[in-house]
Structure 1
Amino acid sequence: MTPSSSWYHQSIVLNVGSLFKGCLKDKSCRVFTAPLDVFLSEEEDVVQPDVFLVCDKTRMTSKGCNGAPDLVIEVLSPSTAFKDRNIKKEKYEKHGVKEYWIIDPAYRMVEVFYLTENRYTAQEFRDNGEIYSSQFPFITLSMDLIFAED
């Protein structure tokens, strides 16, 4: 059995999910958090992103999400960092996830990967500013609120 994530990891997941929910008011997109299966394709492994956004509600079934979400967020932990930065990133890029965020609690940093011509380009956000999405202009999140511990 895989050990559960830390309380701080879970706090960040909850913060991001809640912040996204606020950004999505009156939008067709919905936010989901783990554990919920995402089936990238029939031949690929099933993934369970920490947080993901789906704008086409027909992709959602009782079993999870069929096909690539529009945006995926992974919160790094020591046991998942390699997989999130390499294996999952490659899968998300290959299957057309428009935007992939990696949140690094140890460095209070967020890397945002934008899919452009089937390849990811990265932008790094640090300190106490805001993160914005170029793919989804209605999404802007405060770094302070993402990393809030209360």
Structure 2
Amino acid sequence: MAMPTTTRPSLDSGDRLTREEFHRRYCARPDIKKAELVEGVVYVASPVRVTHGRPHALVLAWLGFYQAKTPGVDFADNITVWPDAKNEVQPDACLWREEPGGPRVSQDGYLEGTPQLVVEVAASSASYDLHDKKEAYRRSGVREYVVWRVLDGAIDWFRLQGGEYVRLDPDARGVIESAVFPGLRLDIGKMLAGDLAAVLAELEPRPPG
């Protein structure tokens, strides 16, 4: 006698779900490696290409090096984050510290609340990372949002000011420094060139004067 088969719940890009229903379906679909709920809409990721993986690895090295030298700071790659009731996202990387009213790790091991800094690796300015997801991060209070637009050869760093994201310009040396995490500096040109040694050198303490 044939055993009845269990029907897997559907989870497709464009579905509109509550966060609870999205999470239930996602947990029941181990075949799906990455899916997100952004402003109530499902986005299922495509297989990851080298053009995404290499920049992603550079970002992880940059943030990981900073976290290793900075007590009280947590860092993670591709974790489930619940910033609010309409969103369940998996940032390419995020940096946070626990503070009153800030993010915390839930009993289930997910990050509840909003990390102070999020980094996403996107294909171009057309990506949802710079539209619906950017709006979700803004509304939920992500203080700094960095997007590497791979096909455009550009990195955008946004800072939340007065409830809106303001795009930051590098200084005369081509460097942007975080206002949330002191000493977290990024040489935009060196990062785009893949010069990891120079990127990490920028995180070393600066001599006085």
Q: Do the two structures share a fold, i.e. TM-score over 0.5?
A: yes
Where in structure 2 are the equivalents of 1:1-150 lying within 5 Å? 2-24=45-67, 25-34=69-78, 36-41=79-84, 43-56=85-98, 59-61=104-106, 62-77=108-123, 81-124=126-169, 129-143=174-188, 144-145=190-191, 147-148=193-194
Report SS of the residue matched to 1:110. Answer: strand
CA deviation map 1:5-31 (0-9, x unaligned): 211311111211111121221321121
Give the number of the structure whose residues are more often strand, by fraction. Answer: 1
Report the CA distance between 1:74 and its aligned residue.
0.8
Identity %: 24
Determine helix, strand or coil for the equivalent of 2:168.
strand
Measured against aligned partners, the alpha-carbon deviations of 1:36-68 in whole angstroms (never above 9, x if no partner) come to 100011x21201111111111861234321001
What is the one-letter code of the residue matched to 2:112?
Answer: N
User: What TM-score do the two structures reach when normalised by structure 1?
Assistant: 0.83
Deviation at 1:4, TM superposition (A): 1.6
Q: In 1, Cα distance between the equivalents of 2:147 and 2:191?
A: 16
**One-letter identity of the residue aligned with 1:31:** F
Shift of 1:86: 0.8
Conserved in 2, the CA contact under 8 Å of 1:68 and 1:96? yes
Distance between the aligned counterparts of 1:110 and 1:85, measured in 2? 12
Q: CA deviation at 1:137?
A: 2.2
* Count of residue pairs the alignment pairs up: 145
Q: Distance in 1 between matches of 2:178 and 2:192?
A: 15
User: 2: distance between equivalents of 1:18 and 1:9?
Assistant: 15
Runs of 4+ more than 4 Å apart = none
Residues 26, 85 of structure 1: alpha-carbon distance in 2 compared, 3 angstrom cutoff? closer
- In the alignment, structure 2 segments of 5+ residues that lack a partner are 1-31, 33-44, 197-209
C-alpha displacement of 1:87: 0.6
RMSD: 2.4
Question: Could you tell me how far 1:92 is from its partner in structure 2?
Answer: 0.5
Q: Name the structure, 1 or 2, with higher relative contact order (CA <8 Å, separation 6+).
A: 1
Residues 101-123 of structure 1, C-alpha deviation per residue, up to 9 Å, x if partnerless?
Answer: 11112232111110112211112
Structure 1 residue ranges without an equivalent (≥5): none
Q: Report what 2:9 is aligned to.
A: none
1:135, distance to aligned residue in structure 2 (A): 2.5
Contact 2:119 2:146 in 1 (8 A): yes
